[in-house]
Amino acid sequence: MMDPQIADDCRDEKVADLLEQAGLRGEFDLIPLEGGANNKVFRVDLPETRLLYKEYFKHPDDPRNRLRNEFSFIHFAWHNGIRALPMPLAQDPEGHCALFQFIPGRKLEPREVTRDRAQEALRFFQQVNEFKDQTDADMIPQASEACYTTADHCACVERRLARLEKIEHASDLDKDAATLVRTHLLPMWKEIRTNVTKQCRRLKTAEDVPLIQKDHCLSPSDFGFHNALLTPEGAVKFIDFEYAGWDDPAKTVCDFFCQPEKPVPNANFEMFARGVASDLSAPEMHLERFRLLLPVYRMKWCCIMLNDFLPAGASRRQFAKGEASCIERKQTQLAKARRALDDLQNASRLAG
């Protein structure tokens, strides 16, 4: 393990290089910030301004290029006049770090996730996609786990479940997670998968037919109010786009209503879904797809909540938070997964 002092010196050098790239110089202080679950984040205090410095996680079992996806998406949006996200300032691809505008603000409380806020998020998504036909949009990579067929969406969940079936029984907590996967997630997934096939037959839609190119979207990905700040002026600014890129709008809609940290009330689903579908080639068909895939994504998020029980997920949290918080984090995530699964089972019973 690198000596902490050496690590700090290396970080200072990286920040100084990024500041120079952004046309800034001078003494600075680095203040660690709480909240980053995947990366290390610091406020950079300069005499006349504050910036944000971000170090991105890398792991052999996680090939995502988080820096590339985030910086390219933010640069594209900012270049096209969208201001509901931080200004990109400089990046170092080899050093896996970047510099952004610092946005003062706080996380929203659950009670503040209102219909008006959901409409703000919808407007942000629509603003970005107003420019998706521009040639520079081709420089934006595919989103993390981008899917363009119903079969691909389902296969993504199946891959996650297959990984979770291999949870090592290193502790009683790990055994509890493995039991939840075996006795609850897998049987529930079998029901959902069967229903997807039935609904596709009813709609006369083949599971392996890809979404047409013109209906692909630029997705913020992992989109929701867990990745947003409320500024002192009362505006919402969106942050954390490390999974962003080209994707199926169905995934954007479903993820928006599945993320557990700052849940968006289900009463807003039709409004948000119709707003996204309105700009697509066949709005009613896309609405049917969004509804069809919502249970698939609820299951996917049950799997995501258990990532800490996998080697790459545990390493990512340790990189961002330190080793001491890992056990407590596992306990929290297991409880969240159980609640989400209960909600999914209740919704399935009501639908049936």
pLDDT tens-digit readout, 177-210: 999 999 999 999 999 999 999 999 999 999 999 9
pLDDT above 90 for 34:
no
User: Who wins on pLDDT, 35 or 275?
Assistant: 275
pLDDT over 60 (residue 314): no
Q: What is the pLDDT of residue 133?
A: 97
Percentage of the chain exceeding pLDDT 90 = 85
- Note whether 310 and 163 are within 8 A (CB): yes
Of residues 197 and 59, more confidence is placed in 197
Task: Summarize the confidence of residues 222-238 as an average pLDDT.
Answer: 96
pLDDT of res. 14: 97
pLDDT score recorded for residue 347: 82
Q: What is the pLDDT of residue 218?
A: 98
Give the per-residue pLDDT at 94. 95
**pLDDT at 1 (0 to 100):** 42
Calpha distance 350→346 (Å, rounded)? 6
What local confidence, expressed as pLDDT, does residue 111 receive? 95
> 348: which residues sit within 8 A by CB, 6+ positions away?
188, 191, 192, 295
> At 352, is the pLDDT very low, low, confident or very high (cuts 50, 70, 90)?
low
For residue 79, how many C-alpha atoms fall within 13 Å in the half-sphere facing its CB? 14
Q: What mean pLDDT, rounded, does the chain reach?
A: 92
What's residue 103's pLDDT?
A: 97
- Give the pLDDT confidence score for residue 322 in this predicted structure: 58
Tens-digit pLDDT profile for residues 92-133: 999 999 999 999 999 999 999 999 999 999 999 999 999 999
The percentage of the chain sitting over the pLDDT mark of 70, rounded to a whole number, equals: 92
pLDDT of residue 24 exceeding 50: yes
Query: Is the model's pLDDT at 90 over the cut of 60?
Result: yes
- Is the predicted pLDDT of residue 312 greater than 80, yes or no? no
Query: pLDDT class for 346, splitting at 50, 70, 90?
Result: confident
Torsion 187-143-92-107 (CA) sign: negative
* Average confidence (pLDDT) over 248-277: 97
* Structure confidence by residue, pLDDT tens digits, 265-305: 999 999 999 999 999 999 999 999 999 999 999 999 999 99
Q: Is the pLDDT of residue 321 over 60?
A: no
pLDDT at 2: 46
* Mean pLDDT, rounded, for 203-228: 96
The domains located in the chain, with CATH, are 4-101 (3.30.200.20), 110-351 (3.90.1200)
The whole-angstrom separation of Cα 352 and Cα 343 is: 14
Identify which of 250, 251, 153 has the alpha carbon closest to the alpha carbon of residue 207. Answer: 153
